[in-house]
Amino acid sequence: MNPKRAIAYRKQAAALLESVINDQLEARTAINCWPTLGNQDPSVRCVYTMLWYFESDEDRHHVETYYSDLQLKFLQEAIAFLKEGEPLPLAVLQMYLPSTAPPEYMSSWTWRTPLWKLTELGEMILGILETNPWLNRNTKPKGPRYAEQSFWQNRIIAKR
């Protein structure tokens, strides 16, 4: 992953967590707005899992204040690292990454769902077009600029 992009994702995740802790944003909304599309940064995935557990244990927060305070403390420590664009310590990553949370909160619509479906459809269509023998035989790329890409990828690039 591009280091600049990883730092940007970490800072965005820190801003979302901070707004949840300050009661400016519900945890469910932050989960559904999480920067996960194409995100492979283990720190951001780890903090996402922390936030997911925080939201799923919301009913326990009023009964078990110690547990709630402990979760808030972990989130605040993670925010301190992510705000600076730094990865989380290895001990924290090892504690949360084995039990990664689902990609979005269940039973609520997110803006990512149509993007995922569109991405899957685009990949499927490209796969079909690239493996069609008639199209590959009758459509040749023009010039050295297009040599490393397939005809259909070049058509998509040309339309942008």
| Residues 25, 91 within the same domain | yes
| Residues 78, 95 within the same domain | yes
- Classified as helix, coil or strand, 26 is coil
CA nearest to 49, candidates 31, 33, 62: 31
| Residues 97, 117 within the same domain | no
| Per-residue confidence (pLDDT) for residue 160, from 0 to 100 | 54
| Residues 94, 153 within the same domain | no
| Residues 95, 25 within the same domain | yes
Overall domain count for the chain: 2
| Residues 149, 80 within the same domain | no
Residue 83 Cα distances to 2, 10, 61, 79, angstroms: 18, 7, 26, 6
Q: Which domain holds residue 69?
A: 3-108
| Residues 128, 90 within the same domain | no
| Residues 33, 79 within the same domain | yes
| Per-residue confidence (pLDDT) for residue 107, from 0 to 100 | 46
| Residues 72, 91 within the same domain | yes
Dihedral (Cα; 10, 12, 13, 19), 10-degree rounding: 140
| Per-residue confidence (pLDDT) for residue 152, from 0 to 100 | 57
Whether the Cβ atoms of residue 71 and residue 26 lie closer than 8 Å to each other: no
Give 10-residue mean pLDDT values along the chain (160 residues).
83 91 86 71 86 84 83 91 90 78 56 67 80 70 56 58
| Residues 30, 77 within the same domain | yes
Domain closes at, from 65, 82, 108: 108
| Residues 66, 134 within the same domain | no
| Residues 123, 102 within the same domain | no
Whether the Cβ atoms of residue 159 and residue 139 lie closer than 8 Å to each other: no
Whether the Cβ atoms of residue 61 and residue 67 lie closer than 8 Å to each other: yes
| Per-residue confidence (pLDDT) for residue 77, from 0 to 100 | 92
| Per-residue confidence (pLDDT) for residue 159, from 0 to 100 | 56
